[in-house]
Structure 1
Amino acid sequence: MGYYALMENIQLENQNIFFTGRADKIDKSELEKYLVQKGSILVNSINEATIIIQGKFTPIYLEETIYELSKKQITIIQIEKLEEEFSSNLDIDSILMAIKISKDNDRLLKLLNNNFFSDDIFVKLLKLYDFKGDDIYDSDDNRDVCTKIVERFCSLIETNHNIQYAPIGVYYTALETSNPNLLDVIYNMPDYVISAKNAQEDQPLSLKEVVALNPNTSKITQLEILKNSKMNELKFLALNESINQMIQKKLFEKNIDEISLSLIKTNNYDESFIDDFLNNYTLKKELLKKAILDDKLFYKFFENIDDVSIIYLSSNDTLNEEMINKLFEKNIDNANINLLKNKNCPKDKIEEFLKLQDKIYNISIAHNTTLPTQLYLYLFSLDDYDVNLSLAQNTTTPKEVLKSLAALNDKFINETLCANISTPINILLQYQYDGGLKNIISNNDSFREFTRKMVGM
C-alpha cells in the first residue's frame, strides 16, 4: 500500500532525502539549506532515500520507481506540502538580512513568487526588490513582481483577470489597498502615470499621487511627501482625509493657492486658517461653497458679505433651513436658483417660487432631491423641455415620471436618462442597442451592478 504522506505526519530530522523534479516556491539550494538545519541531507540515489520529495515534472521512469517504493512504506512527500511547511517555518528575518547583504535578486524573485507567505512577509521582501531604475513594466522581472502585487492586493482581479498583466493594475492596487506598508513600498517604486484623457476632477494620475491621497498611507510616508515638496503630490496629500493637524499646518504654510484649495475641498484646515482664506478671493470663493457650516461660521461669512459672495455661499450643501431663509432675504436671483436646489430648502419657499411660474426657478426646483411626488408630477405636467431635462437628471424623480420622459424619445433627454442611476433597468436595456447611448449606459453604476448580477459575479 502506497504511503503518500501529509506533512503533519512527517519527521524530516536526520533523514536521507531524495528530491526529484522541481519546485515552484523554493529552489534546490534553498531546500538543501532548510534540510541541513534539520540534520537531514539530500542524496543522489533514490535507493539511499528514507524520504522522497516528488517535485513537478518528475521524469516518467522515476514516477514508476517512486510508485513501487511507496508500496514498501517509503515516505513520499508531494512538493506542494513541503513548500507550505518550508514557507511557514522559514526564519524570514535571517533571509531578509542575507538578501540585503548578498543582493541576490534571483533568490528574492523566487521568494516573491511564494504564495504561501503572508502579505506582511511579501511586503518585507518587496521592499528589498531593486527595479534597477526601469519603469515598473520595462523588464520581465519587474513585470513579474508587479503581477504578484496585483494578484495579492487588487480586488478587481476577481472580475478582470487581465488586470494583473497591465501596469494599471498596480495603480488600482494603490488606490484601494488599506495596507500602509505596501503603500510605503509603492511610493518608492518607479512612478507610473495613467492617461489624463478621461480623468475626473481631482483624480490622481500617478502612483505617487495615489499614495499621497490614500487615507491608509503611513504618517512616515506623508512626511516624506512633504519633504520631497513636489507640487502634484502635495496637492493630493492636502486632499487626504487622514492627515493630522501638523501636516495640515505644514501644507497651509506653503502659501500656495492650489494646495490651499485642496485643503478647503476636504475641510482639512484649522479654524485659524479661515481669515487667511477669506483674504484671498480664489480661496474665499471655494471656502464659501465647501465649508461645513455651523451657526458661528455661517454668520462669520454672512456679516458684511457682498452679493457675489452670497451667490457662492448659497451653493453650500450644508446650509440648514434657517441659513437658507436668511439668504433668501437678500433676494438675489442667482442665489435663489442655488437655494431652490438645496435639499434643505423649506417647502414653503419652493411653493412660493413655483407660484411665480418662472422658467429658471422651475428648472432649479426640478433638481431638488427632496420634493414630494406630487411636485415632480406637477413639474412634468408643465411640458417644459428644460424642466424635463432637469427631471431626467434628478436621481429622486419618481420612476413613473422617468418612464414618461423616456416615452418622449428625445435624444438629449435619453442621454440624460442613460446616466441616471435611478432610471429603470428595462428602459436602459432598450437604450443599450443604440450605439450613441451604449457608452453612457456602460458607465451607469446601477446598470453595471445589474450586469454583474446577471453574469453571476
Structure 2
Amino acid sequence: MNLSELQNKTILLFGQSRAFSADEFQAQLKAHKINLTKEYGENVALVVDGKMMTPYEQIESEKIYEEKKTEFISINALEKELAKHIDADTLMMSLKLSNDKSRLKDFLTNSMIDDELYLRLLKMYSWGGEDFFDNDDNRDVSAALIVRFYENIERNHNVEYAALGLMHLITQSKDEKLIEAIFMLEPIQKSLLLDSNKANYKIISAIATNYYAPKNVLNMLVKKSNSYIRTLVAMREDCDEEMQFYLLESGDEAVLEALSYNSNIGKKVVKKLLFNEYLAKNMARNIHLNDELFEIFFKNYPNEVAKNEFISYEMQKKLVAYHSADVMMSLAKNEYIDKKIVVDLLSKESDEIKFALYENSATPQESLEEAYENVLNHFALANNENTPKHILELLAHSQDIKVLKSLAKNVSTPVETLYQLQLDSRLERSVKENPNFGRHIMHENIGWEI
C-alpha cells in the first residue's frame, strides 16, 4: 500500500492498534495527514481490522466487507507501512527533547520498526542503574530485544525471560552492530570488572569469544575488563599487534600465557616473550611460522616446533634431519605432517614412531592398509579416523578388548559395525557416546536407555 494515497483521507479502525500504542498510532497517522475515525461514513477510504475487536465491531466489519463499500487492510499491514516511513532523525530528536521514557519503551517493544532504528533507540534507553530484569520496564525491553534477534525463538519461547538469554543471543549472533549495541548497554558496562558468578559477566565472555565482535569492542575489552576477559581476547586471531602490546604491558601472567597461544602473535611481541621458556615453548607450538620464526624457535625448541601445525615441508625435512627421537615422535603425531615425511619416518627403525603414524589421520591410507598385516598395529589403526572402512570392519573381529574399545569410540567406524559392537556389554557405553552413532540414532529417530 502507499501511504501518500491516503493523505487527507479518513480510515476506520475497528478494535485497537497492535504494535503502536493508541497515542503513537494516531501520531503516526497525523504525520502522514491521515484522519482516524471509529464510525463508518461516506468519507471512509479504508477499513482496518485491529486487535481486540468487540462483537459489535466484528459484525459491523463483516457487513461493510460484504457490501463492498470500501477497501480493507489488517492492522499488521498498516502498522508495518507506518513503521517503514518513520523519520528516524525526527523521532530521535523528539525523544531526546521530551525525555519520554514511556514512549521510547513503546518503540523498543514495537516489532514493526526496522533493526537499524531499533538499535539507535536502544542506545537512548536508560536502565536506571539497574540490571536487565530488575524492574518491569527493563524486563520488557530486554525481552523485546531477545525476541527480535534470537534465531528460532519459537523453539525457545521462554529464553526472553532468562537472564542468560542475552548470552545465548550473543553466542549465535553474526551481527557486528548488534554485538556492539549490547556491549555498550549500561548493565554490561557496569559489569566489566565483576566476577564470573554474574550473568552479565557471562554475556561479556560471550562477546569476547564471538568471531564477529567488532574491533572497537575488543579494544574496549582489552582496556576496561578484568584479567580473564583479557585472556579471551589475547587468544583471538584478530587480536592485532596494538592490542597485543597493550596486553603485554599489563604484565599479567595469565594474559601473557594466553598471548603465547595466539597463532598470529606479532614478531615484536614474540621477542618480548622469548625470555620466558614456558611462553617460548607455547609460541613454538602455536605460532604461524615463517622462515625467520622457524629459525628462532628451531634453535632452542625443535620438539615444540615439530608439534606446530604451520610447519612447511622444508621445515619438516630439517626437523627429521635433526636426528632426535623425541622430535621425530612429535612430528609423527602432528596431524599436519606431509605425506612424504610420513613415508620417510616409516622407514625409521622405531616401533613407537610407526605406532604414532598409524594413529595419525594424516598418514596415507595405503600405508594404513599395509600396517594391518601386522597385528601389533591393530590398536593404532582402530584409533585412526582415516583408517579405511574395510579395515575397521575387519578389526571388529579382533579378540583384543583394547582394539574393540578404540573401534567403538572411532567416529569413522561404520554404523553397522557399531551396532555389532554394542551387543558386547563392555563396549555398549563407548558406542552410545560415539558422536557418529548418536547422529545416526537422531536421524533414524531411534532411542535407547543409558
User: TM-score normalised to the size of structure 1?
Assistant: 0.80
TM-superposed CA distance for 1:339, in Å, is 1.4
Q: Secondary structure at the match of 2:250?
A: coil
Equivalent in the alignment of 2:312: 320
TM-superposed CA distance for 1:363, in Å, is 2.9
**Comparing 17-26 with 427-436, which one deviates more in the overlay?**
427-436
The 1:322/1:240 distance shift into structure 2, 3 A limit, reads closer
Unaligned residue ranges in structure 1 (runs of 5+): 1-6, 198-203
TM-superposed CA distance for 1:435, in Å, is 6.8
Q: Does 1:436 align with 2:433?
A: no
Equivalent in the alignment of 1:217: 213
TM-superposed CA distance for 1:127, in Å, is 2.5
Q: Deviations over 1:290-309 (max 9, x none)?
A: 12222222222233x2xxx3
Q: Does 1:19 align with 2:9?
A: no
Q: Does 1:372 align with 2:364?
A: yes
Q: Deviations over 1:248-298 (max 9, x none)?
A: 322222233322333332333221222222111121110111122222222
Equivalent in the alignment of 1:4: none
In 1: Cα distance, 2:441 partner to 2:134 partner: 35
Conserved 8 A contact 1:17-1:42: yes
Equivalent in the alignment of 1:272: 268
In 1: Cα distance, 2:115 partner to 2:209 partner: 22
Equivalent in the alignment of 1:57: 52
Q: Deviations over 1:341-387 (max 9, x none)?
A: 2322613433223x44x3x3333112222323243234444334xx5
TM-superposed CA distance for 1:81, in Å, is 1.4
Equivalent in the alignment of 2:328: 336
In 2: Cα distance, 1:397 partner to 1:322 partner: 27
Query: Which of these residues, 244, 249, 254, is aligned with residue 253 of structure 1?
Result: 249
Q: Does 1:310 align with 2:302?
A: yes
The 1:280/1:144 distance shift into structure 2, 3 A limit, reads same
Q: Deviations over 1:120-167 (max 9, x none)?
A: 223223333444455545556555544444444444658766655645
What's the % identity of the aligned pairs? 25
Q: Does 1:84 align with 2:80?
A: yes
Conserved 8 A contact 1:289-1:316: yes
In 2: Cα distance, 1:155 partner to 1:413 partner: 43
The 1:23/1:278 distance shift into structure 2, 3 A limit, reads same
Equivalent in the alignment of 2:203: 207
Conserved 8 A contact 1:431-1:437: no
Q: Does 1:263 align with 2:256?
A: no
Conserved 8 A contact 1:163-1:169: yes
In 1: Cα distance, 2:345 partner to 2:102 partner: 71
Q: Secondary structure at the match of 2:326?
A: helix
Equivalent residue letter for 2:21: D
Q: Deviations over 1:144-198 (max 9, x none)?
A: 54444444444465876665564544323323423222111222344599x999x
TM-superposed CA distance for 1:85, in Å, is 0.6
Q: Secondary structure at the match of 1:253?
A: helix
Q: Secondary structure at the match of 1:95?
A: helix
Equivalent in the alignment of 1:226: 222
In 1: Cα distance, 2:315 partner to 2:133 partner: 54
In 1: Cα distance, 2:155 partner to 2:378 partner: 37
The 1:412/1:168 distance shift into structure 2, 3 A limit, reads farther
How many residue pairs get aligned? The number is 430
**Comparing 287-296 with 92-101, which one deviates more in the overlay?**
92-101
Q: Does 1:403 align with 2:393?
A: yes
Query: Which of these residues, 6, 23, 27, is aligned with residue 29 of structure 1?
Result: 23
Equivalent residue letter for 1:32: Q
The 1:255/1:42 distance shift into structure 2, 3 A limit, reads same
Equivalent residue letter for 2:47: I
Conserved 8 A contact 2:431-2:437: no
Conserved 8 A contact 1:293-1:318: yes
Equivalent residue letter for 2:269: F
Equivalent residue letter for 2:317: N
In 2: Cα distance, 1:398 partner to 1:420 partner: 12
In 2: Cα distance, 1:326 partner to 1:21 partner: 81
TM-superposed CA distance for 1:233, in Å, is 1.9
The 1:38/1:302 distance shift into structure 2, 3 A limit, reads closer
**Comparing 276-285 with 96-105, which one deviates more in the overlay?**
96-105
Conserved 8 A contact 2:345-2:353: no
TM-superposed CA distance for 1:416, in Å, is 4.6
Q: Does 1:284 align with 2:280?
A: yes
TM-superposed CA distance for 1:56, in Å, is 1.6
TM-superposed CA distance for 1:92, in Å, is 2.3
TM-superposed CA distance for 1:432, in Å, is 8.0
Query: Which of these residues, 90, 96, 102, is aligned with residue 94 of structure 1?
Result: 90
The 1:101/1:325 distance shift into structure 2, 3 A limit, reads same
Q: Secondary structure at the match of 2:316?
A: helix
In 2: Cα distance, 1:85 partner to 1:138 partner: 34
TM-superposed CA distance for 1:221, in Å, is 1.9
The 1:149/1:350 distance shift into structure 2, 3 A limit, reads farther
Conserved 8 A contact 1:418-1:431: yes
Q: Secondary structure at the match of 1:377?
A: helix
Equivalent residue letter for 2:433: I
The 1:310/1:219 distance shift into structure 2, 3 A limit, reads closer
